[in-house]
Amino acid sequence: MRIAVVGAGGVGGLLAGLLARAGRHEVVLLARGEALAEARRSGLALDVPGDRFTVRPTLVTASPEEAGPCDAVLVAVKAWQVPALAPTLAPLVAGGGVAVPLQNGVEAADRLAAGLPRAQVAGGVIWVYAWAEVPARIRQVGAPPRVVVGERPGAPVAARLRALVSALADAGVRAQLSEDVAASIWEKAALISPLGAVGAVTRAPVGAIRATPATRALLAGLVAEVAAVGRARGVALPADLEERTLALVEGTTPEATSSMQRDIGAGRPSELLDQQGAIVRLGHLAGVPVPLHEALVAALLPQERAARGELPAFART
C-alpha cells in the first residue's frame, strides 16, 4: 500500500513512524513548519514502551500535490484544522484512496467529507497516549495504539480499509475494522470530552480529578450527557457505557492530562468547540439537555477566544 499520514504530532508522527519501521509499505508524511524540517533532516524519532528508534518515511513533504495519490490517508491534525485542510487533500485520494480522520470529537468525518468525495471518506478513531516532545520527536506511553475504522453510509471502502487494518497491524497497532464505527467514535467521546473539559477547568491531572468526590461527580455527569446525546441521535451505545467509561478513568495513569487541556493551558487554540461544543450543538438539535457541557464551554470560551486572537491576550494565572 501507499499510505499518507497527514500531521506529524503525537498521533500522526507515531503512526507514520511505526508504519515506516515495519517497512512493508510506502509511507508518505505530510507535515509543516519545524516538524517538516526536522523530519526531513533527521527522520522521525520515536520513544515507545520498550524501544527507541529513528526512521525515515518514504517521502516527507508539505504538498499533497507532490505526495500524489495514495491508497489510504490517515488525517491526524487537530479537529479545528480539518474544515480548511480537507479540500487541499484531494490529490491524495485522486486515485480512489480512502481518507480516515482520527480526530477527537464526533464530527470529524462529516467535516472531512465536506471537502472530499464523500464516498471516499471513512470513519475512524484512535486510542493512544502520545505527544511530540519537540518537532518530529514522538513519545508514547501506556498500551499500544488502538485504531478502529469503518465504512460510513454511502462510502463502500471496506476493501481499502481491510488492507489498511492489515498494514497497521503489521506495524504493531491494534487495528480493527468495525461494522459500527460511529459507536466507537462516540464511546471515545464519552471519555475524552468530559476529561478534557474538567481537566482544563481544574488544571488537574486525572488522578486528582478522580480523587476529589465533587469533581468526579461532575465528570460522571458529563459522561452521562455525552451518552444521552449519542443515544438520542441513534448511535447504538452499550447500555453500560457510563460505567465502562468511569472504569477507564479509574485505570488511567494518575499524571495523565488531555491534549485539549494542555493546549488551553499553553494558550494555544484547542478542540473545545469541536469536542464539548459539538455535544452542546448536537444536544440542542436532539432536544437533550446538556447543562454541564454548556457551563464548562462558557467557562473556557474566553481563553479559547484569546488563543484564536478574537479577544486581547490576558494573563493565565
Domain boundary among 179, 206, 233: 179
Is 315 within a domain?
Answer: no
pLDDT tens-digit map of 124-133? 999 999 999 9
pLDDT tens-digit map of 41-83? 999 999 999 999 999 999 999 999 999 999 999 999 999 999 9
Look at strands 72-75 and 98-101 and give their pairing: parallel
Determine the average pLDDT of the residues in 80-98.
97
The pLDDT assigned to 154 comes to 87
Report DSSP letters for 7-36, one per residue.
--SHHHHHHHHHHHHH-SSEEEEE--HHHH
Confidence band for 296, pLDDT divided at 50, 70 and 90: very high
Is 118 within a domain?
Answer: yes
Determine the average pLDDT of the residues in 160-184.
97
Is 317 within a domain?
Answer: no
Quick one: 22 and 160 in the same domain?
A: yes
Which residue, chain included where needed, has cell 446525546? 229
The pLDDT assigned to 29 comes to 98
Domain boundary among 146, 179, 212: 179
Is 51 within a domain?
Answer: yes
Is 135 within a domain?
Answer: yes
Residue type, 61: T
CATH code of the domain in which 171 resides: 3.40.50.720
The pLDDT assigned to 317 comes to 66
Q: Rounded CA gap, 8 and 97, in Å? A: 20
CB 198 within 8 A of CB 215: yes
Quick one: 162 and 50 in the same domain?
A: yes
Domain encompassing residue 217: 183-307
Q: Rounded CA gap, 34 and 202, in Å? A: 31
Quick one: 170 and 204 in the same domain?
A: no
The three grid cell numbers given for residue 33, joined into one nine-digit string: 513548519
Quick one: 53 and 33 in the same domain?
A: yes
Quick one: 300 and 239 in the same domain?
A: yes
CB 236 within 8 A of CB 180: yes
Confidence band for 253, pLDDT divided at 50, 70 and 90: confident
Angle formed at CA 112 by CA 4 and CA 32, multiple of 5 degrees = 45
Confidence band for 252, pLDDT divided at 50, 70 and 90: confident
Quick one: 196 and 160 in the same domain?
A: no
The pLDDT assigned to 316 comes to 75
- Is it the case that residue 204 has pLDDT exceeding 70? yes
Confidence band for 227, pLDDT divided at 50, 70 and 90: very high
% the chain with pLDDT above 90: 93
Quick one: 111 and 198 in the same domain?
A: no
Q: Give the global pTM.
A: 0.94
Quick one: 78 and 225 in the same domain?
A: no
Mean pLDDT score across all residues of the chain: 96
CATH code of the domain in which 193 resides: 1.10.1040.10
Number of structural domains (the chain) is 2
Classify residue 39 as exposed, middle or buried by CB count within 10 Å of its CB (0-12, 13-18, 19+): buried
Determine the average pLDDT of the residues in 112-136.
96
Residue type, 252: T
Quick one: 169 and 236 in the same domain?
A: no
The pLDDT assigned to 176 comes to 97
Domain boundary among 179, 195, 214: 179
